[in-house]
Amino acid sequence: MAITLEMEQFLLKLKEKVDVGLVGGSDLAKIAEQMTSIDCGESFQSQDSDSQIAQLIKKYDYIFAENGLLAYHDGRLIGKQSILNELGEERVQRFINFALGYLSRLTIPKKRGNFIEFRNGLINVSPIGRSCSRDERNDFFAYDQKHGIREKMINAFQQEFNGTDIEMDFVIGGQISIDCFPRGWDKKFCLRFIPDDRYDKIYFFGDRCLPNGNDYALFSHERTIGYAVKCPDDTREQVEKLFFNQNQ
């Protein structure tokens, strides 16, 4: 889902008061797509991916794609890591083969395509497949809330790989998938690019803040003040109370 023009303008207004950073598990192109206002006339959406990315990294103070494995500050690349370099081809294939085997034995109401997405810093695994429609995505999310499909998948991955030479963490991401990455490469990874003495306070807003959620590591970190949000409107409301309340 793409950002609205109203929300984009709000973030740019916020940026006049404080430094603003974005951190996500998706790759840089996907984050750029999500942060492209759908309401603009000469839309950023009609541009190619490279143009979207070039504008995004200059628009906000920090951009952390794939949990910070690809990090930008003031439009400049400051860090890059690769899961392939970290684990090597043999271990990556072992993990992918196990994940595909698990998915092949899983029966759920609907399956589509693109079950495994290999990114620079993580492997994204989706039981329904990332090529599902918006309605199918919502249906799976409701089904998963009731039956714990992704929680069970995480448990199976942990049982298979914990204590082996494939030390990985697994967290629920978004509505339809889990993110799988080398141990410690969760969202708190981005903090290594922010010097301890740069800010008195670092506020983090996320919607997956429970254990096994992909925001939990950063939400609960000692360097951050975490706020759990439900949706963009809730995020805006909480940010307004913090930074635009004249009584504070």
Q: How far apart are the C-alpha atoms of 202 and 199, rounded to whole Å? A: 7
Is 49 annotated in a binding site? The answer is: no
Establish whether 144 is an annotated binding residue.
Answer: no
- The rounded distance, in Å, linking the Cα atoms of 205 and 233 is 12
207 has binding-site annotation: yes
Q: What angle do CA 64, 88, 91 make, to 5 degrees?
A: 105
Q: Among 83, 70, 67, which Cα is nearest to 188's? A: 67
- Is 224 labelled as part of a ligand binding site? yes
Query: What would the DSSP string read from start to end of 21-72?
Result: EEE-SS-HHHHHHHTS-TT-SS-GGGS-HHHHHHHHHHHSSEEEEGGGTEEE
Strand pairing category for 225-228 and 203-206: parallel
223 is in an annotated binding site: no
Helix 232-243 and helix 5-15, axial crossing angle in degrees, nearest 10? 20
Q: 100: Cβ–Cβ under 8 A, 6 or more apart, which residues? A: 115, 116
Binding site, residues?
119, 130, 137, 177, 179, 207, 219, 224
Binding site for alpha-D-mannose 1-phosphate, residues?
119, 130, 137, 177, 179
Binding site for Mg(2+), residues?
207, 219, 224
